[in-house]
């Protein structure tokens, strides 16, 4: 997998073990995002989750929530997914979270098979996506990642490998990471003791664009089905818009964010201004030409 870069956006992940956090100091230390533990298993909630989520959001960090998986069955995974989403809602509406919800699946205490590990992970991820309308991401360790097959490669990877020199290993499901937790012994102003340090595979503007892909102002979930399908009545207009560069060729059935709408309006206005300028130049040219008898 790829290396880290000094240009990558910096982040942390926290739970109750970090105690009370001064989020303003964390932000001033150059941290731009945080994943916050929300829940574990089918009933446990992190007692610091709401406090951490609201404090980090108020300080201007991009926030996401994660769930530590305990399930060893598909049924249990779905139950935990529901518990996770309900816990997230206690901090704020789902659209209030900037980053995708994350599944923390890093061990196998029940000793289930590799096939069962994949089934359990898929059940949790699919249920979270159904409940939130946003595709979640998967957190795991460098070694445990070898358990996941290619079918889970559609989910972005948050990988743990604690090293300053060695990159995470390529795995059947992934050859690149989206987030990399590279140490569990970081020190950041505003946090007493050690904290996990992470980077995003891009700059801060890249991360903000990544976060905005799943945002909804009204707090409602985007419909998980049909976002990649063009309605028959809109197909010709959609193709023309894509061919003219007004829109990309992704998510034709998904709601448009305010940023995407602004880009579209800007492109259309720029083209309109160009057409007006061309017409004015054409008129001026005609006015300068002598009359021909």
| CA 213 vs CA 44, 134, 135, 184, 287: distances in Å | 30, 9, 10, 29, 50
User: Which residue, among 38, 104, 97, has the nearest Cα to 77 in the 3D structure?
Assistant: 104
Q: What is the DSSP letter of 61?
A: -
User: Which residue, among 279, 271, 227, 222, has the nearest Cα to 253 in the 3D structure?
Assistant: 227
CA 141 to chain centre: 19
Total residue length of the chain: 293
The question of whether 287 is a catalytic residue gets the answer no
Distance CA(23)–CA(36), nearest Å, equals 13
Residue 238's contacts (CB-CB under 8 Å, 6 or more residues apart) are 230, 247, 252
User: Which residue, among 288, 228, 241, has the nearest Cα to 268 in the 3D structure?
Assistant: 241
**Cβ-contact 50, 223 below 8 angstroms:** no
User: Which residue, among 176, 182, 109, 196, has the nearest Cα to 144 in the 3D structure?
Assistant: 109
Distance CA(291)–CA(293), nearest Å, equals 6
Element holding 258 (H helix, E strand)? helix 258-288
Catalytic residue among 13, 45, 46, 80: 13
Strands 10-14 and 33-40 come out as parallel
Distance CA(214)–CA(255), nearest Å, equals 10
The question of whether 249 is a catalytic residue gets the answer no
Catalytic residue among 22, 45, 104, 106: 106
Q: Which residues are catalytic?
A: 13, 106
């Amino acid at each position: 997998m790829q290396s880290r870069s000094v240009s990558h956006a910096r982040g942390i992940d926290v739970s109750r073990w970090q105690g009370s956090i001064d989020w303003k100091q964390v932000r001033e230390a150059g941290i731009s995002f945080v994943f916050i533990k929300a829940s574990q298993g089918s009933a446990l909630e992190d007692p610091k989750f709401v406090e951490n989520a609201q404090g980090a959001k108020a300080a201007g960090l991009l926030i996401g929530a994660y769930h530590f998986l305990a399930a060893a069955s598909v049924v249990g995974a779905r139950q935990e997914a529901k518990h996770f989403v309900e816990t997230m809602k206690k901090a704020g509406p789902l659209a209030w979270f900037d980053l995708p919800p994350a599944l923390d699946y890093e061990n196998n205490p029940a000793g289930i098979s590799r096939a069962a590990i994949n089934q359990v992970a898929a059940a949790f991820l699919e249920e979270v996506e159904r409940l939130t309308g946003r595709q979640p991401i998967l957190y795991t360790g460098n070694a445990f990642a070898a358990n996941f097959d290619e079918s889970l490669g559609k989910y972005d990877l948050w990988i743990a490998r604690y090293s300053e020199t060695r990159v995470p290993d390529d795995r059947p499901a992934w050859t690149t990471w989206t987030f990399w937790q590279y140490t569990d012994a970081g020190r950041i102003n505003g946090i007493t003791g050690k904290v996990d340090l992470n980077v995003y595979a891009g700059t801060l503007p890249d991360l903000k664009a990544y976060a905005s892909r799943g945002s909804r102002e009204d707090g409602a979930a985007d419909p998980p089905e049909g976002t990649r399908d063009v309605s028959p009545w809109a197909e010709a207009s959609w193709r023309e818009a894509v061919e003219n560069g007004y829109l990309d060729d992704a998510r034709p059935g998904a709601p448009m964010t305010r940023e995407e709408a602004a880009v579209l309006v800007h492109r259309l206005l720029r083209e309109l201004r160009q057409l007006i300028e061309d017409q004015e130049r054409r008129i001026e040219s005609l006015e300068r030409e002598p009359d021909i008898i």
